[in-house]
Structure 1
Amino acid sequence: MYIGVDCGTQSTKVVVIDVDGARLLGEASRPHRLDEQVGGRREQSPAQWIEALGGALREAVSRAGIDARAIRAIGVSGQQHGLVALDAAGEPVHPAKLWCDTETAPWNADLVERLGGEAGCLERLGLVLQTGYTASKVAWLREVHPEAYGRIATLLLPHDYLNFWLTGERVAEAGDASGTGYFDTRTRCWRHDVLAEIAPELDPARVLPRLIESREPAGTLRGAAARELGVPEGILVSSGGGDNMLGAIGTGNIRPGLMTLSLGTSGTLCAYSPDPVVSDSAMVANFCASHGGWLPLVCTMNVTSATTRVRELFGLDLAAFGERVAAAPIGAGGITMLPFFNGERVPMLPEATASLDGLTGLNVTQANLCRAAMEGATLGLRYGLEQFGSLAEGVREIRLIGGGARSAAWRQMVADVTGSRVVCPAVTDAAALGAALQAAWCHRAGKGDGELAELCERLVTLDEASRAEPDANHVAAYDRVYTRYRRVLAERHAVT
């Protein structure tokens, strides 16, 4: 039996899988609180993640109905880019600053300039620094909280921190490290010179975690963590990775020809490549995959976070919100929403705010506003898809994950907006499943069997009832709506 953990923005999810029987045995989740403040600050206490992990894991094992002694390995997926800076005792010096934090936008702009602009970033890192990456968070902490900065002994990402709590080892792997902003995504190594630009007082050899291969274990479960989780000491803990990388594994996106699209708090699009990718668009990040190879990726910052704000504004539950969306026409009666509540990464508008265009006395209805929120998030993903250019030409199918993928209306909207076939995996918590599959891959590697492709073939199954095919008439209608969306984007933010 293998356990997969996904520590996201809103919750920690845990799954238990039986590899031999190719079955999901149990799953559970626990919520997190998000500290949001004016100016783009978005932070969480890492202690919440530990508490959520314990509760979700114990419940998932109980639901699985297994003896905990049958668990062979644990894999951890985590929200990317978050800064978890630890002191010498292994305690956070400041709350974790998350991927969706845009307070550090000025520091990011300064770093890009000091590295020589987009060309300099590409030369050193293989990608262009974006607000939300870890680098600008370190620079922000140095300037705004010098006392906390002065106590830094280790720089970790959220999944690295959970691995540290589980094993006592301070390690990192290439997939998640790709989004720090001080890691060369082509050669898979830390860039000490770039960290020196960000934090000249820190010794890279001391503060950066040891890099391990994706198939290499982070360590084994230490006694104190085992007792808190109610499982045996000494269980193998795999390298883990970022949620996008392990979500790709959990959708079987480990070879060319597929694309994973996540309708989560944020929206992500990624497709596997066997070689490093330098796109014509700086918004496509050349991240490493967490199983070898690369995972070029685009991320938008406002998807279910945007629809949830509108839904809660009207006091609607998910079912009622879906009914309102279905009742409105394509194009929301002429309303266009740019749902940039958290700023935006694609297009690069970290300090943007949300807006509505096209309101009249006739179209201001709950149904139209609900649909405008969902359409705005989805049209933004189409904009992101277009940034891939030729990288997306060989894609045969979009595999849809995240909370929004549970909505039949949203699945059809994605199919119609992108003009692509869409289907969901049977297990929609793909990052947690991917973490469990990576754990099995890592554990079985020492025994000479269990190739990842074979594991994905048997355990990543598709929910055929979720399949959505693009409707030609709807595709044509959305082409017109997308033209309107691009016009509004150009008028409000000079984005062409």
Structure 2
Amino acid sequence: MYLGLDLGTSGVKALLIDENQTVVGSGTGTLDISRPHSGWSEQDPSHWIKATEDAIQALKATHGKELAAVKGIGLSGQMHGATLLDANDQVLRPCILWNDTRSHEEAAELDRDPRFRALSGNIVFPGFTAPKIVWVKNNEPEIFAKLRRVLLPKDYLRLWLTGEHVSEMSDAAGTSWLDVGKRAWSADLLAATGLDTSHMPSLVEGTDVSGVLKADLAARWGMGSTVVVAGGAGDNAASACGMGTVGEGHAFVSLGTSGVLFAANSAYLPNPESAVHTFCHALPDTWHQMGVILSATDALNWYAGITSRKPAELTGELGDELRAPTGVTFLPYLSGERTPLNDSTIRGSFHGLEHASDRATLTQAVLEGVAFAFRDCLHALAAAGTKLERVTAVGGGSRSTYWLKAIATALNIPVDVPADGDFGAAFGAARLGLIAAEKADPRAICAAPATDYTIEPETRLTAEFDAAYNRYHNLYPALKGVQS
């Protein structure tokens, strides 16, 4: 048996698979986000441990015998979070999360240093880890003075699981400290933020062994004494391993809290000016590019909260047949936006409201706004040298067929829906645990699932969607002028 642990923004998922990669069972633990100020987003790392314990205990309650047979654990996690530790590995402050934008000035300052784009292959975004450390240095000097180690969220879990300070290439690539082409920490980039390599965990590939599960945890969970923990992956790379998106030309669209248009590459192809992320993949000698939007299902969940309805209820009101866009446009910039805008201060809006704009009209606009944000990402990927001909859908939002129809039509490419199964980040992490434990061939293990059905673009609505996208595209500069 092999266990995948996925530390998300809203919870931890533990997923158990057998040697045939059949899902045996799962458990979850919930998490909340603290937003003490506008643009801030934090979590207490101790809550990650509790949520992980809850997820594993839920799994043990239903599949204790199978849990006892685990040989390998893989980790997946939300990226970019700054977990600050002192010399005794004690947490110094709440973790600053991926969607926290307080360090936008520090990010801009670092980005003006040409070494960052040249070595990391990316714009220094406010959500990345390095500018958060500079913010702490500037605003919480007493914390910075005690800082001895910076860990990413899933790597803090690894420390708890194994006692080892280790990260891996895909997650490390999102810090702005990694030389992504060389797959190694850059002493120059670290020095530019007041750190050195001693502040960093050691690096392994996602398929490698990073440590062994501590004896007390193994005993508590009823496991053996030699359970290995794989390097694992950042959440998007883990999802790619779960979806089999590991070879040239393979791509997926992820409708999670944030949204991702992800393409695997066999070579390092940086193009920072496009605001596309170019990161290491979890597999050796593999990279990936992705366009990232900060609010995907998060936008629908926000609207659901306002209307006191469940997201599925809102999308269900639209029916099965894709509708032509109305005159209402939604910009999903609730936490700013990454690709292609790199704008942490912009905020969202509805435009074109009238008396006839009912709840369903606004739901439709929210779904279309996210679809158009993905279209922005599609254009950015093309500018970075990656042209997508089809994508596979993944993430909680992909359960909405209506939403997938809107995305297929907005992008004008087919969207494949995998056969029933859980092929997300936790599954990808479990696959990495299997590879590390058995020294298995990564590409043989990370095969793509069968396609259940394909959603084709609805060409009868192409002209209407093109016109609606043009309205969407033209609203950003107008909104920016008002909000500046």
Normalising by structure 2, report the TM-score.
Answer: 0.94
1:440 is aligned, of 434, 437, 440, to 434
SS of corresponding position for 2:265:
coil
Q: Which residue of 2 aligns with 1:279?
A: 271
Residue 481 to residue 26, structure 1, CA distance change in 2 (3 Å)? same
Q: Look up the equivalent residue of 1:100 and give its one-letter code.
A: N
| Unaligned stretches of 5+ residues in structure 1 | none
For 1:422 and 1:130, the matched residues in 2 are separated by: 29
For 2:320 and 2:244, the matched residues in 1 are separated by: 35
Aligned: 1:8 with 2:1: no
Q: Which residue of 1 aligns with 2:65?
A: 66
Q: Which residue of 1 aligns with 2:421?
A: 427
Residue 179 to residue 55, structure 1, CA distance change in 2 (3 Å)? same
Q: Which residue of 1 aligns with 2:227?
A: 235
1:377 is aligned, of 359, 370, 383, to 370
For 1:93 and 1:143, the matched residues in 2 are separated by: 16
For 2:59 and 2:378, the matched residues in 1 are separated by: 35
| Unaligned stretches of 5+ residues in structure 2 | none
Aligned: 1:213 with 2:213: no
Please identify, of 310-319 and 173-182, the stretch whose mean Cα deviation from structure 2 is larger.
310-319
Q: Look up the equivalent residue of 2:450 and give its one-letter code.
A: L
For 2:364 and 2:219, the matched residues in 1 are separated by: 48
Q: Look up the equivalent residue of 2:70 and give its one-letter code.
A: I
Aligned: 1:461 with 2:449: yes
For 1:355 and 1:342, the matched residues in 2 are separated by: 12
For 1:390 and 1:353, the matched residues in 2 are separated by: 25
User: Are the equivalent residues in 2 in contact too, given 1:300–1:381 (CA < 8 A)?
Assistant: yes
Task: Output aligned runs, 1:75-474, within 5 Å.
Answer: 75-113=74-112, 115-116=113-114, 120-199=115-194, 202=195, 204-279=196-271, 281-292=273-284, 293-326=286-319, 330=323, 332-346=325-339, 347-362=341-356, 364-389=357-382, 395-425=388-418, 426-428=420-422, 430-445=424-439, 450-457=440-447, 460-462=448-450, 464-465=452-453, 467-474=454-461
For 1:28 and 1:409, the matched residues in 2 are separated by: 29
User: Are the equivalent residues in 1 in contact too, given 2:83–2:152 (CA < 8 A)?
Assistant: yes
**1:233 CA drift (Å):** 3.4
RMSD after superposition: 2.0
For 1:197 and 1:280, the matched residues in 2 are separated by: 19
What's the CA shift string for 1:272-331, capped at 9, x where partnerless? Answer: 111101237431111000112101111110111111111111111233211234499745
**1:393 CA drift (Å):** 5.6
Residue 112 to residue 279, structure 1, CA distance change in 2 (3 Å)? closer
Residue 278 to residue 492, structure 1, CA distance change in 2 (3 Å)? same
For 1:338 and 1:394, the matched residues in 2 are separated by: 25
SS of corresponding position for 1:66:
helix
Q: Look up the equivalent residue of 1:12 and give its one-letter code.
A: V
User: Are the equivalent residues in 2 in contact too, given 1:173–1:213 (CA < 8 A)?
Assistant: yes
Residue 391 to residue 250, structure 1, CA distance change in 2 (3 Å)? farther
**1:192 CA drift (Å):** 1.4
SS of corresponding position for 2:326:
helix
**1:14 CA drift (Å):** 1.3
For 2:64 and 2:452, the matched residues in 1 are separated by: 28
Q: Percent identity?
A: 29
For 2:325 and 2:224, the matched residues in 1 are separated by: 54
User: Are the equivalent residues in 1 in contact too, given 2:264–2:289 (CA < 8 A)?
Assistant: yes
User: Are the equivalent residues in 2 in contact too, given 1:267–1:300 (CA < 8 A)?
Assistant: yes
Q: Which residue of 1 aligns with 2:51?
A: 52
For 2:272 and 2:181, the matched residues in 1 are separated by: 16
What's the CA shift string for 1:31-78, capped at 9, x where partnerless? Answer: 101001332010001111111111112223443463433111000000
User: Are the equivalent residues in 2 in contact too, given 1:35–1:43 (CA < 8 A)?
Assistant: yes
Residue 299 to residue 68, structure 1, CA distance change in 2 (3 Å)? same
For 1:385 and 1:64, the matched residues in 2 are separated by: 42
Residue 391 to residue 106, structure 1, CA distance change in 2 (3 Å)? closer
Q: Which residue of 2 aligns with 1:34?
A: 33
